[in-house]
Amino acid sequence: MDFKLILKKLNKKLTEEETITFSKWYNESQDHKAYFKKVSTNYPNNLESINTNSAWKAVEHKIEGSRKNNAFWKYGIAASLLLFMALSYFFFTKEDSNVANTIVINNNISAGTDKATLTLEDGTTVALKKGEHFSGQYLNSNGEQIIYTAKTASIEPKTEYNYLTVPLGGEYYVELSDNTKVWLNSDSQLKYPVTFKKGETRVIELVYGEAYFDVSPSTNHSGSSFKVLTKSQEIEVLGTAFNIKAYKNENTIYTSLLEGKVNVKTTNNSEILIPNQQSIVNTTTNSLIKVQHEDIEKQIAWKNGLFMFDKIPLHEILTTLSRWYDISFEFENLEKQNMVFSGVLDRDKSITDLLNNFQKTGEVLFKVTDRTIIIN
């Protein structure tokens, strides 16, 4: 059952055809009836009073930071935010439950923020923190982002490389000297030249982690192509915007394409992606597993300050949260690991708020000890 139909049923907006679909699902089992009753009980009564103009202003504020003006995002994220406002908790796909008491306690775990470590060519490290400025030759940082400018010299010097490392609980934006824009998620590292040599392929490396790229087209750089290297694949960019997820403790790499084209190359094969496709590469075998159509909005929601989960196992959700909040988690009840949840939540929320939203489903209990989340 598409959850949107349940929402439309609650708002009495089902079409005749949707009514037939809903009724068939509802009458299939007592579990479906019980689930609808649970959703109805928790559903907010003031959904119609949501101010969509205010909601969109909040969305625009998030997107402004991404410097991306795209009608696709305006529609997609606005819809997601409204869903979040209407349903500030997750819905569980299983229908049998007992209401659980909230036992999450107050703690000092805060949401992630703009922070990173910059490593220069000579090995010098600089901590980049929100509110602190740093300037160097050809670069400037206001603490929330770092901007490089192209070198101008009659003789090009030796290529120098910088590393930008984002820790757990952090994120960072960097604009390279060719005007390529990169957003780095938590627990990620990027290697790149301080400047690119004219006429040569522009090559950078996502050492590990997750990053969203908005690549400056080759037409602006005398035809110079752009490549992104990871541990088991090479992305040849044909002027585009895309996301790569390649964490060091995972054996798969996900490349999700929003605009343009990319050629995903491994040791054994290659595949050209078109918008709304995602490739999956196995880092153990260095082979391309498959290419699939994907909702890119969900894949790169993190860049715009949101968590978007669609039928995701709890252990995967908690892995994502652990990177952003710099926490660890343990399952006392192993049966809970593969419970599947869906929902949209703001990354600015405290971990307590998020965990309480899970607990409102009545399916799971959390305890917080220092920086460890224990799941019962």
Phi, psi of 215 (to 5 degrees): -85, 135
Q: Name the residue with tokens 């491994």.
A: 266
Q: Which of 128, 147, 139, 130 is nearest to 67 (CA)?
A: 147
Cα separation of 243 and 254, whole Å?
Answer: 8
DSSP secondary structure, 72-98, as one string: HHHHHHHHHHHHHHH--S-EESS----
List, in order, residues 6 or more apart from 160 with CB less than 8 Å away: 120, 121, 193, 194, 195
Could you tell me whether strands 252-259 and 262-265 are parallel, antiparallel, or unpaired per DSSP bridges?
unpaired
pTM of the predicted protein model: 0.74
Sketch out the chain's domains with CATH numbers. 44-108+300-375 (3.55.50.30), 113-299 (2.60.120.1440)
Contact at 8 Å (CB) between 98 and 357?
Answer: no
Spans of the chain below 70 pLDDT: 1-4, 38-39, 41-107, 152-157, 239
Cα separation of 55 and 319, whole Å?
Answer: 29
| pLDDT for residue 100 | 44
Could you tell me whether strands 139-141 and 145-148 are parallel, antiparallel, or unpaired per DSSP bridges?
antiparallel
